[in-house]
Amino acid sequence: MRTAVSQLQLLEPHSLKEALIMLRDEQPLTPLAGCTDIYVNLNFGTLRERRFLNLWNLGSLRRIAMRGKTLSIGALATYTDLARSRLVCRRLPILVAAAREVGGVQVQNRGTIGGNIVNASPAGDTLPVLAVAEATLVLQSAGGTRRVPFLSFYTGYRKSVLRADELLISVEIPPLSGPQWFRKVGTRAAQAISKVVMAAIRSKTPRIAVGSVAPTVVRLPLTESHLASGGSIGEAKRILAAEIAPIDDLRSTAEYRRQVAANLLERFWRETK
Ligand X SMILES: Cc1cc2nc3c(=O)[nH]c(=O)nc-3n(C[C@H](O)[C@H](O)[C@H](O)COP(=O)(O)OP(=O)(O)OC[C@H]3O[C@@H](n4cnc5c(N)ncnc54)[C@H](O)[C@@H]3O)c2cc1C
Q: What is the contact surface with ligand X in residues (CB under 6 A)?
A: 30-38, 40, 55, 75, 102-103, 107, 110-112, 114-116, 118-119, 124-125, 167-168, 191, 193
Amino acid at 127: L
Residue 64 zone, left/alpha/beta (φ > 0; ψ -120 to 50; rest): beta
3-class DSSP state of 196: strand
Instruction: Report the residue closest to ligand X, judged by CB.
Output: 115
Which residues, 6 or more positions from 25, have their beta carbon under 8 angstroms from its beta carbon? none
Cα–Cα distance measured from residue 217 to residue 123, given in angstroms and rounded to the nearest whole number: 8
Cβ of residue 121: shortest distance to ligand X, in angstroms?
6
Pair type for strands 30-32 and 51-54: parallel
Taking the complex as a whole, the smallest distance from the CB of residue 125 to ligand X amounts, in Å, to: 4
Q: Smallest distance from the beta carbon of 200 to ligand X, in angstroms?
A: 18
Asked if 138 and 130 count as a contact pair (C-beta separation under 8 A), the reply is no
Nearer to ligand X, 160 or 223 (CB): 160
Coil/strand/helix, residue 109: helix
**Nearer Cβ to ligand X (42/254):** 42
Give me the least distance between CB of 11 and ligand X, in Å please. 13
Question: Residue ranges of the alpha helices (H) in 154-253?
Answer: 221-228, 233-243
Measured from the CB of residue 205, what is the shortest distance to ligand X in angstroms? Answer: 27
> What's the closest the beta carbon of residue 107 comes to ligand X, in angstroms?
5
User: C-beta of 262: minimal distance to ligand X in Å?
Assistant: 22
Task: Select 161 or 222, whichever has its Cβ closest to ligand X.
Answer: 161
Between 38 and 64, name the residue whose CB sits nearer to ligand X: 38
Distances (CA, A) of 4 to 1, 47, 80, 145: 9, 10, 30, 36
Judged on CB neighbours under 10 Å (0-12, 13-18, 19+), 48 is exposed
- The residue among 107 and 151 lying less far from ligand X, judged by its C-beta, is 107
Closest C-alpha to 151, from 241, 221, 69, 67: 221
For the CB of residue 55, give the shortest distance to ligand X in the complex, in Å: 6
Q: State the Cα angle at 124 between 233 and 243, rounded to 5°.
A: 35
Identify whether the C-beta of residue 148 lies closer than 8 Å to the C-beta of residue 136: yes
| CA gap 172, 28 in Å, rounded | 28
Residue closer to ligand X (CB basis): 125 or 243: 125
